[in-house]
Chains A and B, each alone.
Chain A
Amino acid sequence: MEITAGDWFSEPQNWVFLVFALLMVGSAIQVVTNRNVVHAVLFLVVTLIGSAALFLLLGAEFVAWTVVLISIGAVVVLFLFGIMITRAPMGRDVGLDHARRWPAALIALALFTLMSASMTSLFENQALGERVVRTGDLGESIFERFVIPFEVVSVLLLAALIGSIVLARRDPSEEEQP
């Protein structure tokens, strides 16, 4: 189903999308350019809240709440811990970015042009389905069709847990030495 520009702007969902998209892009730019490390992490929270709102808009409720719980709740706290442990400067820091960041900006711009141009030329204005996915159906699908990948992800999480403890823990034999 093709959608024209007039149809697009008359849908209230699209205005909600536009507000959250602008918010997300603005805060994502702040994440990569802000000189204050803690502020950059807090702007990542804004971006993730925007993505959770878009998931709600797409009818993916369980994914939205998972983003809120895991990404905003746990990962961001982990980042703040990481910043505090590595004693990154908490205030403004001039040396946080490379001196030559124009090549990086150029690469990012070229990548954006390439990806968005190829996506829009391939899919044009085809409409998305409007369907709210119930969490129960999602769970049935995970435990019936995707049960092997699910188990693999659990093993991966366990391996990551053990690996990060082994890496970050101080060796007891090292501490005995003066």
Chain B
Amino acid sequence: MTISQFAILASALFSIGVYGVLARRNAVMVLLSVELMLASVSINLVAFGSYWQDLAFSGQIFALFVIAVAAAEVGVGLAIILLIFRNRQSANVDELDLMKW
């Protein structure tokens, strides 16, 4: 196994996630795409950790941190979406243009 194959796969998944964030209109679907991007980042972290042969296993530990932060992000993000939905009866990100001048 080479480092490049994991890097290419992770960048493909990350780009697909970027496309999802830009193209989706439902806020829950945007969060889903962010989750995809975080998964690709943790693949990169574990692959590079295996490449460097670090004795402290930094790559895997930071992948665990990424998973924990992703769980926190989904919790808070869904709570915010729920609040927006309760106030505006819609989870469409195009309609959230309060800050647009």
List A residues at the B interface (Cβ < 8 Å): 3, 8, 11, 13-14, 17, 21, 24-25, 28-29, 31-32, 37, 40-41, 44, 47-48, 51, 54-55, 57-60, 62-63, 66-67, 70-71, 74-75, 78-79, 81-83, 85-88, 93, 95-98, 101, 103-105, 107-109, 111-112, 115-116, 119-120, 123-131, 133, 137-138, 141-142, 145-146, 149, 153, 156-157, 159-161, 163-165, 167-168
Contact = CB atoms under 8 A, between A and B. Distances in A.
Nearest to A52: B39
Interface in B51-66: 51, 53, 56-58, 60-61, 63-65
Given A98-B25, A138-B60, A153-B68, A109 B15 contact: yes
A115 B14 contact: yes
Contacts of B96: none
A75 B70 contact: yes
A54 B1 CA distance: 11
Secondary structure dominating the interface of A: helix
A113 to B, nearest CB: 9
Q: What 7 A-B pairs are tightest by C-beta distance, nearest first?
A: A32-B20, A160-B72, A104-B22, A115-B11, A108-B19, A119-B7, A112-B15
A78 B65 CA distance: 19
Secondary structure dominating the interface of B: helix
B23 interface: yes
B39 A47 contact: yes
Given A79-B32, A145-B56, A160-B76, A13 B82 contact: no
Nearest to B4: A120
B2 A125 contact: yes
A138 B39 CA distance: 20
A33 to B, nearest CB: 8
A25 B83 contact: no
Interface residues of B, number: 69
Given A131-B50, A138-B60, A167-B80, A51 B42 contact: yes
B17 to A, nearest CB: 7
A104 B20 CA distance: 8
A96 B18 CA distance: 16
B5 A32 contact: no
B67 to A, nearest CB: 6
Contacts of A119: 3-4, 7-8, 11
A63 B82 CA distance: 30
